[in-house]
Structure 1
């Protein structure tokens, strides 16, 4: 298997891990199980908050960088036009899919944000690496500044479970750009850094260990900086204000959250590359890769099928963290097995096949 093929299957492996984490976090949110549960269970669930979805977006950036590698080299105008049109169509499909999920009540959708990331990617195909990195830094600082200038809680209910004016023009764009679950400021940073990393060739076998080391150390450093800043600033402002500015939780998404989330995403990605390479012939690896290849189907399915089943039983907002975790793990196991057997006969997932017809 070529190094590029290994990297691509490694990305699929990591994408499966991202889907697993997103399922757990989303089920916890949907069942309103943020509070309660044993301390170790809360700690386990907390590991995935904002990290799984960050990994998902970083992978999207890396995937687009691989997709456009030859085009950047050739600078062929016709190929660039065709690729941009393909990205436009994918963005349109994902936006409509995301709006459908929002319309049926899934407020934590990521697909309509993802659509915007692809639109941005279509513009950045020929942009230099340095300019992409510059955009990353600009969006990072702008996002932190916006947290100071604007009211992050505007539009949200008291418990942050409902966005009260989402279906208005102002509310929709406020949510999209600033204070939704995955707002453009700063979530585009994850996509941009993925785009940049994919171009730099850091995922080759010879560089993985160094990337893993720096990413792991970086995660620890940014987490420590967050803890220390909150501790030192709390007496000056108050604990709530200090946490608001320097937390590494996804809401509000601070600069430190983006930096820590990027590092943890890279660490998980490199580990995934090692596992996909080392155990390439095992059932677990093949099924994980298949699950990652069906990630769009599983994302939509975990809302419509997984949560739809609970809604039909009248057991949605049960508030039990242990049930949310067990149910999420059970759903992922079924998705995992479905992916393995589906990929033995079909080249793409159910939703991926539909998207392929249009994109």
Structure 2
């Protein structure tokens, strides 16, 4: 698959028609995110159920739901940042200003969300928008280079600083969060979702958004690449951990497991490769199925839900977790109950999304975002 040298001259995207598969993938990202967050909130944290099929489902979704959401955010960002090859300086400046305003809006919304949810990721989106405001004309190679740079920079940070310093993992509380030093540290390094390294997945999503996934051969190529990277990362994690603790015992068990982990906390490179590969497989599958069955009610309902992704990201915290917690369900439920609640909330979200899209073009928060940054 050919990669162009600069985005201004790229010709890989077939047209500006909305790609429904991206919206379907966003809906699945919302579902996986709701499953993880409901399990985290409603299951007893001191006695989590990690065995059995339900435990495996939650374990698989942990981190990978966020990764899918972030990659898709990058895809959307690439579409917003798209410019014509002969754009005048005034048009480029207007695009830069739009991206800057949206970045500031998402950063502010993320800070508000952080007051009630420690796993906020909108702040990372905000910083990414601010970066792309100055980088949207970068070539595909440069975009992938930035993705790699953010990934490796996090490794340097975690070798230099103590990732667990401000966390109490038994209560999921972060000390000094609302100080300047603690807030910046949480945003850029050791938050649940921080700029380093999660922005690397946004840059990857930007690159993906520039590819002509409407072409079947491109979709299949990306699908198999994603599957290979995901499997390779998992196998590599096992192999490297064993090698550096047994064959060449250069690292202790704890250090090797940290550096070569595919767990989402802390998000080391092999996790990002694994989660990014899984995201690519899911996105290409959704695009392909949407091309085949675009007229089906299921695809249409999921697409409507995905188009309200920002609304449901905030909504599942404020409405879903907030209401159910107020009913006394906090950390005293079984995993099965938490998953049924998650599926019930997602079903409600799908129904509301279908109703809303029949009457309005954009979701509630999506409308506010457009109004505030127009």
Query: CA deviation digits over 1:98-126, x for unaligned, max 9?
Result: 222222x2111111121111111111112
Instruction: Select 2:24's aligned residue among 5, 13, 16.
Output: 13
Moved more, 232-241 or 181-190: 232-241
- In the alignment, structure 1 residue 64 sits paired with structure 2 residue 62: no
The range that moved more, 212-221 or 2-11, is 2-11
SS in 2 for 1:248: coil
Q: How does 1:209-358 map to 2 (within 5 A)?
A: 209-235=220-246, 236=249, 237-318=251-332, 320-358=334-372
1:176 and 2:187 matched: yes
Q: Cα–Cα, structure 1 residues 127 and 160, in superposed 2: closer, same or farther, change >3 Å? A: farther
Q: How many residues align?
A: 356
Structure 2 gaps of 5+ residues are 1-12
Q: Is 1:113 aligned to residue 127 of structure 2?
A: no
Higher helix share: 1
- Structure 1: distance between partners of 2:70 and 2:311: 16
**Structure 2 CA distance, aligned partners of 1:33 and 1:287?**
33
Secondary structure at the counterpart of residue 70 of structure 1: coil
* Cα distance between partner residues in 1 of 2:162 and 2:91: 43
TM-score norm. by structure 1 comes to 0.94
CA distance in 2: counterparts of 1:4 and 1:279, whole angstroms = 20
Q: Return the match for 1:79 from 78, 81, 91.
A: 91
CA distance in 1, matches of 2:182, 2:240: 32
Does the CA contact (< 8 Å) of 2:50 and 2:56 recur in 1? Answer: no
Per the alignment, do residues 109 and 199 of structure 1 end up closer, same or farther by CA in structure 2, a change over 3 Å counting?
same
Aligned to 2:209: 198
Unaligned runs of 5+ in 1: none
Distance 2:232 2:17 in 1: 30
Q: CA deviation at 1:68?
A: 2.6
Distance in 2 between residues matched to 1:22 and 1:4, nearest whole Å: 31
Q: Which stretches of structure 1, 4 residues or more, deviate above 6 A after TM superposition?
A: none
- Asked whether the 8 Å contact 1:7–1:204 carries over to 2, the reply is no
Deviates more, 1:347-356 or 1:26-35: 26-35
